[in-house]
Structure 1
Amino acid sequence: MRVLLSLLLALVVAPAWAGPALDRLSLPKGFHIAVYSDQVPQARELAVGAKGTVFVGSMDAGKVYALTDTNHDGRADKVRVIATGLQLPVGVAYHKGDLYVSAVSRILVLRDIEDHLGDPPKPQVVYDKYPTETHHGWKFIAFGPDGKLYVPIGAPCNICDKDRDYAKLTRMGPDGTGLQDVAYGIRNTVGFDWQPATGKLWFTDNGRDLMGDDVPSDELNRLDRVGEHFGYPYCHQGDVLDPEFGKGHNCKDYVPPVLKLGAHVASLGMRFYTGRQFPGHYQGAIFVAEHGSWNRTKKSGYRVMAVRLEGGKVASYEPFITGFEQDEQAWGRPVDVQMLPDGSLLVSDDLAGAVYRVTYDKRGR
Structure 2
Amino acid sequence: MSPSSLQRFVLTVSATGLLGAASLAALGDEHEPAWAQGRSADMADSPLSPHATPLTTTPREEIPLDHLRMPDGFNAEIWAHGMPGARMMALGDEGTLFIGTRGIGRVYAVRDNGDEREHVIVAEGLTQPNGVAFKDGSLYVAAINRIFRYDDIESHLANGDDIPEPEELTDAFGLPDDEHHGWKFLAFGPDGRLYVPVGAPCNGCEVDPDTHATIHSFEPDGSDMRVEARGVRNSVGFDFHPETDELWFTDNNQDWIGEHGPGDELNRLGEPGEHFGFPVCHSVGMIDPELGSADACDDKTLPAAVTDPHSAPLGMRFYTGEMFPEEYRNAIFIARRGSWNRTLSVGYDVLVAKLSEDGRRADLSPFMVGLLDPRENAFSGRPVDVLQMPDGALLVSDEQNGAIYRISYETPSYME
TM-score by length of 1: 0.94
Give the aligned residue type for 2:372.
E
**Which of the numbers 379, 385, 398 marks the counterpart of 1:349?**
398
Give the aligned residue type for 1:331.
S
Where does residue 127 of structure 2 map in the other structure?
A: 87
Q: Distance in 2 between matches of 1:190 and 1:364?
A: 39
- Higher alpha-carbon Rg: 2
Q: Distance in 2 between matches of 1:230 and 1:357?
A: 34
Q: Does 1:330 align with 2:370?
A: no
Worse-superposed segment, 306-315 or 226-235 = 306-315
Q: Does 1:78 align with 2:78?
A: no
* Paired residue total: 360
Give the aligned residue type for 1:320.
F
Conservation of the 8 A alpha-carbon contact between 1:171 and 1:182: yes
Where does residue 220 of structure 1 map in the other structure?
A: 266
Conservation of the 8 A alpha-carbon contact between 2:102 and 2:183: no
Give the aligned residue type for 2:324.
F
1:13 Cα deviation (Å)? 6.9
Where does residue 192 of structure 2 map in the other structure?
A: 147
**Which of the numbers 133, 141, 144 marks the counterpart of 1:104?**
144
Residues 236-293 of structure 1: CA deviation (Å, up to 9, x unaligned): 0131000011025431210000101121110000000000000110000000001100
Higher-strand-fraction structure: 1
Q: Does 1:270 align with 2:316?
A: yes
1:310 Cα deviation (Å)? 3.2
Residues 20-70 of structure 1: CA deviation (Å, up to 9, x unaligned): 211111110010001111111101100111111111001253211011111
Worse-superposed segment, 355-364 or 2-11 = 2-11
Q: Distance in 2 between matches of 1:60 and 1:212?
A: 27
Q: Distance in 1 between matches of 2:33 and 2:394?
A: 33
Where does residue 257 of structure 2 map in the other structure?
A: 211
Unmatched segments (≥5 aa) in structure 1:
none
What SS does the corresponding residue of 1:359 show, helix, strand or coil? strand
Residues 82-108 of structure 1: CA deviation (Å, up to 9, x unaligned): 111211111100001000000101111
Higher relative contact order (CA 8 A, sep 6+): 1
Q: Distance in 2 between matches of 1:60 and 1:35?
A: 23
What SS does the corresponding residue of 1:226 show, helix, strand or coil? coil
Q: Does 1:361 align with 2:406?
A: no
Worse-superposed segment, 217-226 or 248-257 = 248-257
Q: Distance in 1 between matches of 2:394 and 2:280?
A: 36
Q: Does 1:340 align with 2:386?
A: no
Unmatched segments (≥5 aa) in structure 2:
1-22, 24-30, 37-48
Residues 195-247 of structure 1: CA deviation (Å, up to 9, x unaligned): 01111000000010111111100010000111100000000013100001102
Conservation of the 8 A alpha-carbon contact between 2:54 and 2:85: no
CA gap 1:364/1:170 in 2 versus in 1, 3 angstroms:
farther
| Identity %, equivalent residues | 46
TM-score by length of 2: 0.83
Give the aligned residue type for 1:233.
P
Higher-helix-fraction structure: 2
What SS does the corresponding residue of 1:114 show, helix, strand or coil? helix
- 1:38-187 to 2 correspondence within 5 Å? 38-71=81-114, 73=115, 76-117=116-157, 118=160, 119-128=162-171, 129-164=174-209, 165-187=211-233
What SS does the corresponding residue of 2:50 show, helix, strand or coil? helix
Backbone CA RMSD of aligned residues: 2.1
Q: Distance in 2 between matches of 1:288 and 1:6?
A: 23
CA gap 1:360/1:215 in 2 versus in 1, 3 angstroms:
same
Structure 1's consecutive aligned runs of 4 or more residues displaced over 4 angstroms after TM superposition are 1-8
